Amino acid sequence: MKDAVETPPDRTLARIPEVGSAPIGSDAERYLSELWESPPGWRGWLSTVDHKEIGLRYLVTSFIFLLIGGVEALIMRVQLAGPDRHLLTPEQYNQLFTMHGITMIFLYALPVLSGFSNYLWPLMLGSRDMAFPRLNALSYWLFLFAGLFLYASFPLGEGANAGWFNYVPLSGPEYNTGPNIDVYALGMVLLGISTTVGAVNFIVTLFRMRAPGMSIDKVPILVWGTLTASVANLFAVPSVSLAFFLLWLDRQNGTHFFDPLNGGKPMLWQHLFWMFGHPWVYVIVLPAMGIVSDALPTFCRRPLVGYAAVALSTMATMLLGFGVWIHHMFATGLPALAISFFGATSLAISIPSAVAVFAWIATIWLGRPVFQTPFLFFAGFVLLFVIGGLSGVMTAAVPLDLQLNDTYFVVAHLHYVLLGINVFPVIGGVYYWFPKFCGRMMNETWGKWSFWVLFIGFNLGFFPMHVAGLLGMPRRIYTYAPNMGWNTVNLITSIGSFVFAAGVLIFLANIAVSLKRGALAPQNPWDAPTLEWAVPSPPPPYNFAVIPLIASRHPLWEDRLDAAEGRSNLQTGYLLMDGRETLGTTALDAVPDVILKMPDDTYAPFFLALFSSLGFAGLLLDWNRFTFLMTAAAGLSLVAWMWPRQKLVQRVPGVSRVTEAGRG
């Protein structure tokens, strides 16, 4: 057995950690369990900082939002199934499509990926938790409360109603007098806090929490995807938070940022929104592409082709993604020369996507595919990804986009992108990691049924939308006349949407039944190569009894890959059990750097999130005294959070150099 880590632990460690092993059932293992377990009952439920618990909550909550958004879509499809139907009033329709967009884009698409990443990152990286467990809890609670906030006015018939991109002046004080847009504006600022702290946590976790030996070129692609998305969030979210904050000031405090009668600029909104909006598209697809890049190879019985190329293409997509926002604004009358640059960049952004597509196809081609349910979703995804990408190429062509823009062609394109590249990998990912999450296998027969029903329903529902767009059907119309030539395509779309919904139901039924009666899952049911499959299903609260030593990208396939790579060591490693501890390593090479003292469970994040959200509710309702009280309470929660604790001190002065040499 060759050790992955040749260098002795860094001298700056507070102490030289004991190296050993802690097999299941040993005293050491039991002690670790006690250390890391959350208290039972509601106390643990409100105070846990376990990334696995938080990850599952993200997944479940975002799936509930997906179902709500889906029901909204179905109601709209009933309205649009034929011409001149009057199931919904125009106002109801406008609120439905706006809430559908907000729900799917903000409350489902990113949070669901955060759920996967939260659950999987420490397991994939060989750590015992995220870098900032309490911040992690805060980001979940803020997401939940922001979601409830955004929905608060909808049951009262006062939901947001100006479309998810909420153009001014339609969303301004003059044309939107109800609370509808105030709820949306404040809710988005609140949600922006959640997204930002979540992004910070992911970035620091990647750079500091990898197992020793897992240098930056050995992390799974999902990690690259989420890292890229998180860095992008730090740049993109401020733009939209600012836009919504300025809008709220316009609406409630008499400013004129967007008011053309007083020197404001409606175009400012479009720029601020799309400087955020386009990177966001990649934020909600890159981690999902990462899911495929990591899980597809498992079912192809070979490593991903072109790991480095795919990782680089992930980042290249994002860099270019910050330079294409104008392609949402080709029709705003900007000079032809200016928009031609953005059109060309928008075409160029397909190049990194081509890298990924050919990497996936080569992986399947050179591998030996095993047609299990997750694989069906990933293979189907490749085709949907290509369709969504190609229709994107069409909309990047400026003159053509001046026709396609704001028609159903764009609706088709964005659904191929968001369902094809987000929902299909997500459902495939649930089938793949469900055994890890819940310790039970999902049913294969039902799984295959769910795939085919979803795949057929999806294409039946969304492909005809391309045709509707080419026939000139505008987006966001609550009804249409019978003589426009759109009757047949809309009927097919409506039928397809219900078939798709049936597929979702089969999937949910499969989850419900498998949770109770699924076969017990072994540690590594798919014979997968990555680290999360090296721990029991479901993982123990401490994740890894010993911090593993990593030598390759495929620690569980090393005995079978003929490359002359080192051998990882998953059985013996640093024990680290002086309280909740894990290892911090250097950013690029993952050399042990610091023993991290991890915090215990605490209510502080819950209360901070609760009081902040109530503060936002106070702003919405114009209850100034209440807002002030809630801000003070949030401040107190922060004090409790930050209160210095002896046992969280990372380095004890004077103790650090006592032990002379490591044992390595």
Partner 1 sequence: MHDSGSEYRHCVAAGSAFFPLAFGGMPDMAMAAEAAPLNYFLHSDGPASLPTMHLGWVFTAVVVAVLAIIALLLAGALFRKRTLAAPRTVGRENEGMRWIYIGTGLSTAALFALAVYMLITLDKVAQPTQTPALAVTVTAYDWWWKVEYDDDDPSRRFVTANEIHIPVGRPVRVRLQSADVIHAFWAPRLAGKTQMIPGLQNRQWLQADAEGIYRGQCVQFCGLQHAHMGFEIVAQSPVAFQAWQDAQRKAAAPASEPDAAAGRKFFIEQCAGCHSVRGTDAGGKHAPDLTHLNSRRMLAAGLLTNTAEHRIEWITRVQALKPGARMPAFALTPGETAALSAFLSTLD
Angle between helices 110-125 and 221-253 (to 10 degrees): 140
Residue found by looking up tokens 């806090």 in the block:
193
Which one among 365, 505, 656, 663 touches partner 1, defined by CB under 8 A? 365
Residue found by looking up tokens 């590249």 in the block:
421
Task: Please state, in angstroms and as integers, the Cα–Cα distance from residue 112 to each residue in 190, 194, 558, following that order.
Answer: 18, 14, 31
Which one among 2, 11, 43, 476 touches partner 1, defined by CB under 8 A? 476
Please give the DSSP secondary-structure letter assigned to residue 570: E
Task: Please state, in angstroms and as integers, the Cα–Cα distance from residue 223 to each residue in 218, 423, 530, following that order.
Answer: 10, 18, 12
CA 275 – CA 281 distance, rounded (Å)? 11
- Smallest gap, in angstroms, from Cβ of residue 407 to partner 1? 7
- Please identify, among the stretches 45-53, 345-353, 537-545, 578-586, the one whose residues bind partner 1 according to the rule CB under 8 A: 345-353
- Smallest gap, in angstroms, from Cβ of residue 339 to partner 1? 8
DSSP string, 99-133: HHHHIIIIIIIHHHHHHHHHHHHHHHHT-SS-S-H
Q: Does 533 bind partner 1 (CB under 8 A)?
A: no
CA 526 – CA 532 distance, rounded (Å)? 12
Which one among 459, 494, 510, 514 touches partner 1, defined by CB under 8 A? 459
- Smallest gap, in angstroms, from Cβ of residue 383 to partner 1? 6
CA 507 – CA 521 distance, rounded (Å)? 19
Q: Is beta strand 581-585 parallel, antiparallel or unpaired with respect to 569-574?
A: unpaired
Q: Does 455 bind partner 1 (CB under 8 A)?
A: yes
- Please identify, among the stretches 90-98, 129-137, 238-246, 616-624, the one whose residues bind partner 1 according to the rule CB under 8 A: 90-98
Which one among 256, 271, 301, 651 touches partner 1, defined by CB under 8 A? 301
Asked whether the beta carbons of 96 and 17 are under 8 A apart, the reply is no
The smaller minimum CB distance to partner 1, of residues 129 and 401, is found at: 401
Which one among 397, 499, 591, 648 touches partner 1, defined by CB under 8 A? 397
- Smallest gap, in angstroms, from Cβ of residue 321 to partner 1? 16
Please give the DSSP secondary-structure letter assigned to residue 536: -
Q: Does 463 bind partner 1 (CB under 8 A)?
A: yes
Torsion of CA 103, 104, 107, 113, to 10 degrees: 170
Q: Which of 391, 434, 444, 431 is closest to 415 using CA atoms?
A: 391
Q: Does 479 bind partner 1 (CB under 8 A)?
A: yes
Q: Does 323 bind partner 1 (CB under 8 A)?
A: no
What residues contact 44, with CB distance under 8 A and at least 6 apart? 38, 601
Q: Does 499 bind partner 1 (CB under 8 A)?
A: no
3-state DSSP assignment of residue 20: strand
3-state DSSP assignment of residue 19: strand
Q: Does 467 bind partner 1 (CB under 8 A)?
A: yes
Which one among 179, 192, 220, 343 touches partner 1, defined by CB under 8 A? 343
Site for partner 1 in 143-162 (CB under 8 A): 162
Pattern 56-85, binding to partner 1, x per CB under 8 A?
------------------------------
CA 460 – CA 304 distance, rounded (Å)? 31
- Please identify, among the stretches 18-26, 100-108, 399-407, 511-519, the one whose residues bind partner 1 according to the rule CB under 8 A: 399-407
- Smallest gap, in angstroms, from Cβ of residue 524 to partner 1? 11
Which one among 104, 110, 146, 398 touches partner 1, defined by CB under 8 A? 398
CA 222 – CA 178 distance, rounded (Å)? 42
Peptide bond into 592 cis (omega under 30): no
Total of residues contacting partner 1 (CB under 8 A): 111
Please give the DSSP secondary-structure letter assigned to residue 548: E
Which one among 20, 323, 474, 566 touches partner 1, defined by CB under 8 A? 474
Q: Does 300 bind partner 1 (CB under 8 A)?
A: yes
Q: Does 336 bind partner 1 (CB under 8 A)?
A: yes
Question: In the 3-class helix/strand/coil scheme, how is 485-505 assigned residue by residue?
Answer: CCHHHHHHHHHHHHHHHHHHH
Q: Does 307 bind partner 1 (CB under 8 A)?
A: yes
Q: What is the distance in angstroms between the CA of the first residue and the CA of the last residue of the chain?
A: 13
Site for partner 1 in 237-296 (CB under 8 A): 260-261, 264-267
Site for partner 1 in 589-618 (CB under 8 A): none
Q: Does 332 bind partner 1 (CB under 8 A)?
A: yes
Which one among 12, 18, 175, 177 touches partner 1, defined by CB under 8 A? 175
Q: Does 305 bind partner 1 (CB under 8 A)?
A: yes
**H/E stretch holding 592:** strand 592-597
Q: Does 216 bind partner 1 (CB under 8 A)?
A: no
The smaller minimum CB distance to partner 1, of residues 126 and 367, is found at: 367
Q: Does 561 bind partner 1 (CB under 8 A)?
A: yes
Pattern 402-441, binding to partner 1, x per CB under 8 A?
xx-xxx----------------------------------
SS3 content of the chain, % helix, strand, coil (to 5): 65, 5, 30
Please give the DSSP secondary-structure letter assigned to residue 84: T
Backbone phi, psi, residue 571, to 5°: -95, -40
Q: Does 87 bind partner 1 (CB under 8 A)?
A: no
- Please identify, among the stretches 13-21, 135-143, 221-229, 551-559, the one whose residues bind partner 1 according to the rule CB under 8 A: 551-559
Please give the DSSP secondary-structure letter assigned to residue 211: P
Which one among 368, 517, 625, 657 touches partner 1, defined by CB under 8 A? 368
The smaller minimum CB distance to partner 1, of residues 207 and 463, is found at: 463
Which one among 143, 486, 574, 607 touches partner 1, defined by CB under 8 A? 486
**H/E stretch holding 275:** helix 266-283
The smaller minimum CB distance to partner 1, of residues 14 and 492, is found at: 492
Which one among 56, 78, 242, 348 touches partner 1, defined by CB under 8 A? 348
